[in-house]
Chains A and B, each alone.
Chain A
Amino acid sequence: MQKLCLAAVCLLFAGDVSAAQLPVRQVIDRAVTEYIQPAFTELDATASSLDTTLDALCSTPSEATLSTAREAFKAVVVAWSRVEFLRFGPLLDDSRSDRMLFWPDRKGIALKQVQQVLAEEDATATDEVTLRQKSVALQGLGPLEYVLFGTGAEALGNGAPFRCAFGDTIATLVATTAKELVTAWTTGDYAQTLLAPTAEATNFRNRREVLEALLGALSHGIEAMRDTRLLPVVGRDGAVPKPKSALFWRSEMTVPALHAGFLGLKELFDVSGIGLAVTADGAWIANSLDFEFGNAERAFTAITSPIEGALQAPDQMRALGYLVILTQSLQTLLGENLSAALNLSVGFSSLDGD
């Protein structure tokens, strides 16, 4: 086999940029133990609580139990938004990401299926085993939001047995999936594949590949936020805004979910110290990322209304448009500048799908 010296340098890369301020091993360790594992633990806790509140709503329907269930749903949305960009390993296995949230749903498949289940009172949708065998579009946070906040949801406070049982079954599956996720990350061996990669492994053979996965999650997470959450709602190239294309508009969680996603990305970036795994020459990248994440935070403080109102208020609309611009800047900083400084291939030639 021919190996050219110029390029063979990459084979020697053990994961560290020489003279980096922080070793890659520590970056990975911090990312896993200080962000990923706690974030999935939080998702598990909120999902478990949601399941309990749905039980209570169905056994004792009232305005109070409905309100509690709705708040518990919102807490799961926030916890989910902090992990959904970690699209490798446990989140992708067994279609867990799609089971938690089937999105984007361009053709409105989930809404049609949920309305059909409710109209027909399909008993197989109130059984964990049979619901799990159905389309993922019927199983996660999307249909549960419709049950709790969609047309006819107020009947839950007075007792709506089928609707409540359907919601309770979805909540149980959401809790089950969240439990599987935290188990895989904390007591299973998945974390070890990141912390101690081996040359024989099929997923991560060295720390460089782990670092690529982490940086890829950050970069692609920002891209997905722009392409699937912001632009379809704000409108591309001056198109008319579409508030009802927004994820979680019924529960008024569109903006809080976006905000939680930004905060999650920022926190993973901060606690992992991935921006410090470069030489002093690359220190500007982390500074720029800090600056842009700070700009995003300020933009969120300007968005005070639920999405429909925000799109009609010029100041808030401007802030949403500014977030679109910031996602572009953050993606370039992560996927190109930081990737290059870390000697990774997340960036220019290896974006998925070309």
Chain B
Amino acid sequence: MWQRRAFLKAAGVGFAASLLPGRAAALERAELVFASSIETAAGGYAAALVSETGALIAEVALPDRGHDITFSPLTGQAVVFARQPGTFAVVFDPKGKSPPVTLTSIEGRHFYGHGAFSPDGRLLYVTESDYEAARGVIGVYDATGGFARIGEFDTFGTGPHEVLLMPDGRTLAIANGGIETHPDYGRTELNLETMEPSLAFVDAPTGELVGLLKLEAALHQLSIRHLAVDMRNRVWFGCQFRGVSGTPQLVGYATMDGEIRLIELPPDQLGSLRNYVGSVAAGKGGEMIAVSSPEGNTILAIDAATALPISALALDNGCGIAADAVGFMASSGDGELVGFAQGEVTPVRMNVKFDNHLRRVI
């Protein structure tokens, strides 16, 4: 309960007052609050705050389909990014004091659906594509100055996807998926034969490369997409295999010391991921890692210490995963919210479609 009070304090009385009466009551009752992009029952797109009981607390309309949401606990600002190759991001203010602000990607760049705040919430780092050069960049935005784009630096790869800030507060971990796309051809993947994914550690204040890690050359079609940090500050990653045949391992971890390795999932569980990991999340304290596959309708929880799977959930279209107090909460494209791996949430179904990522904000 203290968490809700802390959130309400951070959000300010204006937030609760701005909600419709039913939604304010839902917030009052909520133990946990999650944010996700959704498709609404009416077919529109929004960023939504929902409670663990499936109550819709708030939603911010979007011009098109959103993807991940990043949140600064310090400032309370949240940003939802358009699904790649997107051209907008919407900053919304849970304090309810200012209307949402829409950012548009600059000429020659598009967004990749993910971003991360600096620890003080003053800067926003966004994965973007310099598509004429097939070069990934991190766009840097001033969160204190109307989100003006104040610079960019290289991701040292092509097709950057998820970015997160390491616990040191200055190093960005960037998943360079390796896949070239171009707005002229929509989501068509243009370089599957020659793709070269990597995981880059980049020093955010200087833009300098700290380390660039790649899997062995034979695995060059294993696109590194999604990331989470465990209790030892190792970066766990989930991959999508873009090759034709075979079932390579899809989950691994990397360290800032330069180690990168795939873990060995048993064949039946690896098979259930169908060569596609759509989201990676760390549990509370980073002792458990969850990976999801909406292709395989499967979510696995992995013990970070032993690298062994400890729990599995079959969930149609399941992709969003976020830590709750002890385990995980999962969301699906069919509107389900389910607790797993000791997660406490009783399954509920909402009349929305959840996008691939779920973030806990309370």
A residues adjacent to B (C-beta < 8 A): 1-4, 6-11, 92-93, 95, 98, 104, 106, 136, 202-203, 205, 209, 223-224, 226-228, 231-232, 236, 245, 340, 343, 345, 347-354
* CB contact between B353 and one of A1, A228, A348 (< 8 Å): that residue: A348
CA distance A93 to B246 in the complex (A): 11
> B140 on the interface (CB 8 Å rule)?
no
Closest approach, in angstroms, between the C-beta of A117 and any C-beta of chain B?
20
**Chain B residues closer than 8 Å to A205, beta-carbon distance:** 271
B188 touches A3 (CB 8 A): no
- Tell whether A351 pairs with B340 under 8 Å between CB atoms, given A10-B316, A92-B244, A345-B316: no
Minimum Cβ distance to chain B for residue A100 (Å): 15
B332 proximity list for chain A (CB < 8 A)? 349
Q: How far is the CA of A341 from the CA of B276 in the complex (A)?
A: 23
A349 near B278 with CB under 8 A, answer yes
Task: Choose, from B142-150, B163-171, B306-314, the stretch at the interface.
Answer: B306-314
User: Please, which residue of chain B has its CB at the minimum distance from the CB of A350?
Assistant: B294
Tell me whether A354 and B316 are in contact (CB under 8 A): no
Contact call B186/A4, Cβ cutoff below 8 A: no
Q: Are A93 and B311 in contact (CB under 8 A)?
A: no
Do A106 and B185 touch (CB < 8 A)? yes
In the complex, the answer to whether B84 meets A7 with C-beta atoms within 8 Å is no
Bound CA–CA A2/B332 (angstroms): 18
Q: Among the listed A2, A4, A11, which residue makes an inter-chain contact with B347, where contact means beta carbons less than 8 Å apart?
A: A4
| B315 in contact (CB, < 8 A) | yes
B120 at the interface (CB under 8 A from A): no
B287-317 vs A, Cβ < 8 Å mask (1 yes, 0 no)? 0000000110100000000000001111111
Taking CB atoms, residues of chain A closer than 8 Å to B334 are 340
Cβ–Cβ < 8 Å partners of A245 in chain B: 184
- With known contacts A227-B187, A232-B184, A350–B317 Cβ distance under 8 A: yes
Partner of B187, one of A106, A223, A232: A223
A2-B340 contact, Cβ under 8 Å, with A202-B247, A227-B186, A232-B184: yes
The A/B interface has a contact count, at CB < 8 Å, of 128
B264 at interface (Cβ–Cβ under 8 A)? no
Is the pair B193, A353 in contact by a Cβ cutoff of 8 Å? no
Report A-chain residues with C-beta under 8 Å of the C-beta of B190.
104, 106
Listed by A's residue number, 16 A-B pairs whose Cβ atoms lie within 8 Å are A2-B312, A4-B347, A7-B315, A10-B314, A98-B193, A202-B247, A205-B271, A228-B185, A228-B186, A232-B185, A348-B333, A350-B317, A351-B187, A353-B84, A353-B187, A353-B189
Chain B: number of interface residues, binned into ranges: 35 or more
Q: Given A98-B193, A106-B182 in contact, is the A350-B295 Cβ separation under 8 Å?
A: yes
Q: Pick the contact of A354 from B67, B183, B297, B311 — CB < 8 Å?
A: B67
Contact residues in A for B189 (Cβ distance below 8 Å) = 352-353
A95, A224, A227: which has the most chain B beta carbons within 10 Å? A227
Whole-angstrom CA separation of A223 from B356 in the bound complex: 20
Residue of A2, A92, A209, A351 most packed against chain B (CB within 10 A) = A2
CB atoms of B295 and A11 under 8 A apart = no
In the bound complex, CA of A1 to CA of B334 (Å): 23
**Chain A residues in 8 Å Cβ range of B186:** 223, 226-228, 231
A352→B187 contact, CB < 8 A: yes
Q: Are A354 and B353 in contact (CB under 8 A)?
A: no
Interface residue B354 (Cβ < 8 Å from any Cβ of A): yes
Q: Most chain-B Cβ atoms within 10 A of its Cβ — which of A245, A343, A345, A353? A: A353
Which residues from A are CB-within-8-Å of B246? 202
If the complex has contacts A349-B332, A354-B113, are A227 and B340 also in contact, measured as CB distance less than 8 A? no
Chain B residues, CB < 8 A from A350:
276, 278, 294-295, 317, 319, 333
* B230: interface (CB < 8 Å): no
A8, A224, A347, A349: most-surrounded residue (chain B CB, <10 A): A349
**Which residues on B sit within 8 Å (CB–CB) of A93?**
244-245
User: Given that A98-B193, A227-B185 are known contacts, is A353 also in contact with B355, CB under 8 Å in the complex?
Assistant: no
Partner among A3, A232, A343 whose Cβ is within 8 Å of the Cβ of B314: A3
B22-48, CB < 8 A from A? 39
Across the interface, name the chain B residue whose C-beta is closest to A102.
Answer: B193
Q: Which residue of B lies closest to A245 (CB)?
A: B184
Q: How many Å lie between the Cα of A293 and that of B311 in the bound state?
A: 45
**Residues on B with beta carbons closer than 8 Å to the beta carbon of A236:** 183-184
A205 to B272, CA, bound (A): 10
- Report if B202 contacts A (CB, 8 A): no
Contacts A1-B311, A224-B188, A354-B67; is A349 near B317 (CB within 8 Å)? yes
* Residue in B313, B317, B340, B355 whose CB lies within 8 Å of A345: B317
CB-defined contacts of B182 to chain A, threshold 8 Å: 106
Output the least CB separation between A295 and chain B (Å).
20
Question: How far does the Cβ of B141 sit from chain A's closest Cβ, in whole Å?
Answer: 22
- In this complex, the member of A228, A245, A350 whose beta carbon has the largest number of chain B beta carbons within 10 angstroms is A350
Distance of A89 Cα from B181 Cα, bound (Å):
24
B334 to chain A, nearest CB (A): 8
Whether A7 contacts B185 by the Cβ 8 Å rule is no
**Which residues on the A side are within 8 Å of B228 (C-beta)?**
none
Closest 3 A/B residue pairs (Cβ): A227-B186, A348-B333, A349-B333
B360 to chain A, nearest CB (A): 19
Q: What B residues does A345 contact at CB under 8 A?
A: 294-295, 297, 316-317, 333
Expressed in whole angstroms, the Cα–Cα distance for A104 and B113 within the complex equals 24
State whether the Cβ of B240 lies closer than 8 Å to any Cβ in chain A: yes
Check if A10 sits within 8 Å of B333, measured CB to CB.
no
Does B313 contact A3, Cβ atoms closer than 8 Å? yes
CB contact between A348 and one of B177, B315, B317, B336 (< 8 Å): that residue: B317
- List chain A residues, Cβ under 8 A from B315: 4, 7, 10
Most B CB contacts (10 A, CB to CB) among A10, A136, A223 go to: A10
Given contacts A106-B184, A349-B356, contact A354 B83 (CB under 8 A): yes
Q: A205-B271, A227-B185, A353-B84 are in contact. Are A7 and B314 (CB under 8 A)?
A: yes
Does B318 contact A7, Cβ atoms closer than 8 Å?
yes
Q: In the docked arrangement, what's the CA distance between A104 and B190, Å?
A: 7
- Report the bound CA distance from A52 to B153 in whole Å: 55
Are B356 and A354 within 8 A (Cβ)?
Answer: yes
Complex Cα–Cα for A205 and B267 (A): 13
With beta carbons under 8 angstroms apart, the residue of A4, A106, A231 that contacts B338 is A4
B190 to chain A: closest residue by CB: A106
Judge whether A227 and B247 touch: CB under 8 Å.
Answer: no
Q: Is the C-beta of B341 less than 8 angstroms from some C-beta in chain A?
A: yes
What mask results when residues 228 to 240 of chain B are scored 1 for a CB within 8 Å of chain A, else 0?
0000000000001
